[in-house]
Amino acid sequence: MIKLFSLKEQSKGQEAAGGANKNAKKTTAAQLRITKDISDLQLPKTLKVEFPDKDDLQNIQLTICPDEGIYRNGKFTFSIKISNGYPHEPPKVKCLPKIYHPNIDYEGNVCLNILREDWKPVLTISAVVYGLQYLLLEPNADDPLNKEAADLMVRNPAQFHTNVAESMKGKSVAGHKFDKVVS
């Protein structure tokens, strides 16, 4: 379980100690919501959340190590950036290694409906984390960012699986060199 100090408790502590310091940063609604979302996360062993800067909860690194599906045995890191507009605005997500996937382009942009038009303020960081995990377990050829990979997935599944396996080893596929994500 992730252990984080509560920003809300910190604010209360400052008030109890004689009022808020004029130079102290105000705790935003987004920070309070992020703190709650993160404290509620219960992740399986295939998912890991880290904070590159322990004082910045709005920048998260998620590592997914699928234990099933065609991306099995890979290690995929995603950068999740949360704006001050959260939860009214979805987080911005990038896949850090270059991978061959119908829903992730070569620049790391991710096509996931809850990160766009289907985002609702009731959704949490957990929904984003599990949505990304699901993309690695069940790529969606109907809503692609990498149209060539999506087309191949539908037209020739065996070749698509071969391309995924080769790309995960850090080899070149379809004229693109990929990052090695398997040991």
Kindly name the residue from 82, 111, 132, 181 that is annotated as catalytic.
111
65 is known as an active-site residue: no
Nearest to 64 by CA among 43, 84, 83: 43
139 and 101 Cβ atoms separated by less than 8 Å: yes
Helix (H, G, I), strand (E, B) or coil at 38: helix
Tell me the three-class secondary structure of 114-145, residue by residue. Answer: HHCCCCCCCCCHHHHHHHHHHHHHCCCCCCCC
Active site residues: 111
